[in-house]
Amino acid sequence: MTYVNSTANALGDFLMSPFRGANPWPGMLAISFVTAIVFVWVFKVFSNQRGLKRKKGRMMARALELLLFRHDMVVSLTAFGRLAAANFSYFGELLKPIAVSLIPALLLLIQIACWYEYRPFAIGEPILVQVDFSDDFPMMSREIECVSSEGLETETDSLRIPSLNQANWRLRARAAGFGWVDVKADDASVRKEIVVDDRLLKVSDRRVQSGFWDTLFHPVESPIEQAVPIKQVRVYYPHRQLFVAGIEVHWVIAFLVLTMVFGLLIGRLFKVSF
């Protein structure tokens, strides 16, 4: 998983590196465009274009049949059944390219989420750092500490929640940059990155102990070692907001709509049948 994440991180950083400005839209447009090209190509290569055309034609014919004989119930019902069958058959043709695209699409969405789900802290904003300890670690009787880098100010003592075996600190962003906190429990120490900036930058809201899904969904920072009594260090970043004509749009919606629009245009250009 670590190698997959490293490759995906490197690719994501490379693609997004020209778009680290204050405006998140150029990056969104670019990543949607590149994604559309790649997935149209994948679709063209892994789909049976001739079969697809044939099945789309059949669907059209069944639809016309339904329309023409709408006054005859028996024929209409039969046509409806044939239309449904044609639809299933069409979707069957899509299974192969979808299966091929599924894992890259998931990795891509996870990478984009690192850029668009949250935004870095602004200078002056409070930062809540939450540390979840292993169930067998007696947090209340041990010494725990949070040391922050320059540019971050630790404002509070640790707030310990025995029922959750969790400790929290509040920091404040004082200067822009890639800062960090070192969370120390007994002799172990875990470093968590905290980004303060007003640009579009990749952030990681949590660093987790290894586990397939946790590692897959939080690819930016390497997993916490198993020997350390800390399950995860979480930083509550603010959600990034994207606006279209003053209306907030979730990044997933924006990405999917843009990718589909670009995909349809590119598909037409390269004569790809969907």
Partner 1 sequence: MTTPSEQSACAVSRRRFLQAAASAAFISGCGESRRGGESAARIERMIVLGVDGMDPTLVKQFVAEGRMPNCRRLMQEGSFGPLQTCDPPQSPVAWSNFISGTNPGGHGIFDFIARDPKTMRPFHSTAQSIPASGLLPLGRYQIPLSAGRIENRRQGKTFWNLLEQSGVPCTVFRVPANFPTTSTDATTLSGMGTPDLQGGYGTFTYFTDDSRQWSRDVSGGRIEKVFVRDHVVDCKLKGPVNSFLAEETSSELTFRVYLDPERPLAKLVFPEAEIMLREGEWSEWIVVKFPMLPPLVQVSGICRVLLKRAQDGFGLYVSPVNIDPADPSLPISTPPDYSRRLVREMGYFYTQGMIEDTSALSAGVLTPDEYRQQSTFVIEERLRFFEHELARFHDGFLFFYFSSLDLNSHVFWQTRDPEHPTYTQEFAEQYGDFIPELYDKIDRAIGQALERTDDKTLLMVMSDHGFTSFRRQFNLNSWLMDNGYVRSKNPGKRGANSYLLDVDWSNTRAYGLGINGLYLNLAGREANGIVQGGPEADMLKCQLIARLKDVRDPENGRQVIANVFRAEEIYSGPYLQDAPDLVVAYNQDYRASWDTVLGSFPRQHLLDNTDAWSGDHCVDSRIVPGVLLSNRAIRKSDPDLTDLAPTILSAFGVPVPAEMTGHDLLQPQV
Nearer to partner 1, 58 or 174 (CB): 174
Q: What b/e string do you get for 182-205 counting C-beta neighbours within 10 Å, with b at 16 or more?
A: ebebeeeebebbbbbbeebbbbbb
> How many other C-beta atoms can be found within 10 angstroms of the C-beta atom of residue 175?
12
Instruction: Give the binding range for partner 1 (CB under 8 A) out of 9-17, 107-115, 195-203, 243-251.
Output: 243-251
Q: What are phi and psi of 208, to 5 degrees?
A: -120, 160
Q: Does 9 bind partner 1 (CB under 8 A)?
A: no
Q: What are residue 183's phi and psi, to 5 degrees?
A: -100, 120
The verdict on 126 binding partner 1 (CB under 8 A) reads yes
Residue 246 engages partner 1 in binding (rule: CB under 8 A)? yes
| Sign of the dihedral through C-alpha 232, 238, 241, 247 | positive
Q: Taking CB under 8 A as the rule, does residue 141 contact partner 1?
A: no
Which of 20, 58, 160, 240 binds partner 1 (CB under 8 A)? It is 160
- Binding of partner 1 by 157 (CB under 8 A): yes
Task: Tell me how many helices (H) and strands (E) the chain has.
Answer: 6, 11
Cβ nearer to partner 1, comparing 81 with 238: 238
CA distance 274 to 263: 10
Does 25 sit near partner 1 (CB under 8 A)?
A: no
Q: Which of 11, 99, 123, 140 binds partner 1 (CB under 8 A)?
A: 140
Instruction: Rule CB under 8 A: say whether 215 interacts with partner 1.
Output: no
Cα separation, 230 vs 184, whole angstroms: 9
Interface residue with partner 1 among 73, 162, 212, 213 (CB under 8 A) is 162
Q: What is the smallest separation between the CB atom of 1 and partner 1, expressed in angstroms?
A: 28
Contact partners, residue 122, CB within 8 Å, separation at least 6: 173, 196, 198
243 belongs to the binding site for partner 1 (CB under 8 A): yes
Between 57 and 238, name the residue whose CB sits nearer to partner 1. Answer: 238
Asked if 48 contacts 270 with a C-beta cutoff of 8 angstroms, the reply is no
Output the smallest distance, CB 13 to partner 1, in A: 28
SS3 content of the chain, % helix, strand, coil (to 5): 50, 25, 25
Question: How many positions of this chain bind partner 1 (CB under 8 A)?
Answer: 21
Out of 2, 6, 156, 222, the residue judged to bind partner 1 by CB under 8 A: 156
Tell me the C-alpha distance between 152 and 172, whole Å. 6
User: Phi and psi for 139 in degrees, rounded to 5?
Assistant: -55, -40
128 binds partner 1 (CB under 8 A): yes
Report if residue 42 touches partner 1, rule: CB under 8 A. no
Enumerate binding residues for partner 1 (CB under 8 A): 126, 128, 130, 140, 156-164, 168-170, 236, 241, 243, 246, 248
